[in-house]
Amino acid sequence: MASRNPSASIDTVGDVGPSSSDAALAEDFKAAFRNFPAGVAIITADGGGRPAGLTATSVSSVSVEPALVVFSLSSSSSAAPLITSSDTVVIHLLGADQVELAKRFATSGIDRFADGESWTRLATGEPVLSGVDCWLRGRIAHRMEAGSSTVVIVRVLRVRTERPPGSPLVYRNRRWYSLRETAVLA
């Protein structure tokens, strides 16, 4: 790929302004992050009596005290409006044995909760998925529009580990991976 002149689209105040290379930058940006591996989670919420959920690779811990987690939601996701308008969410951290669950919640145009046996509701109303290694329930503390996404900060209220964690599920370059102990380098 040809190198771009970094000063070619800088305006008079030093900010990068719109240019004909915006499309190329967007493609380069997507390619860079496609190759950056990420853990896989499913975010669920009660969307006004209707369960909502999606697969996310943008989940990250922010703080231990208070316990805060951040994730982003694409505005193109059909579940995003229901999740962002909810007061609380459940973040399910997936193991490699839950790849089919991750694929289901990443598929658009389907009822992700059609299988009534794979989920229940917590006493507080949020949908929780059965058989997931670990989940966190939290209250949405802040929402921020950022480009074509919404960044959501969640204050964790409860952490539940239902079984010893197995190999985590990882997503990279449009493929699913299992991160096993044999992958340790140092």
Averaged pLDDT of the chain: 88
Question: pTM, whole model, 2 decimals?
Answer: 0.85
Is the sign of the CA dihedral 103, 85, 149, 69 positive or negative?
Answer: negative
Dump pLDDT digits (tens) for 37-95: 999 999 999 988 889 999 999 999 999 999 999 999 999 998 999 999 999 999 999 99
Q: Is the pLDDT of residue 142 over 60?
A: yes
Say yes or no to pLDDT of 148 above 50.
yes
CA 74, CA 156: separation in Å to the nearest integer? 22
Written as six digits, the tokens of 50 are: 């209707």
User: What is the band of 12 on the pLDDT scale with cuts at 50, 70, 90?
Assistant: very low
Locate all alpha helices (DSSP H) within the chain, ordered by sequence: 22-34, 80-84, 99-106
**Distance (Å, rounded) from C-alpha 168 to C-alpha 93?**
8
- The token duo for 61 is 């811990």
Confidence of residue 10 (pLDDT cuts 50, 70, 90): very low
CA 99 – CA 115 distance, rounded (Å):
16
Residue ranges and CATH numbers for the domains of the chain are 44-171 (2.30.110.10)
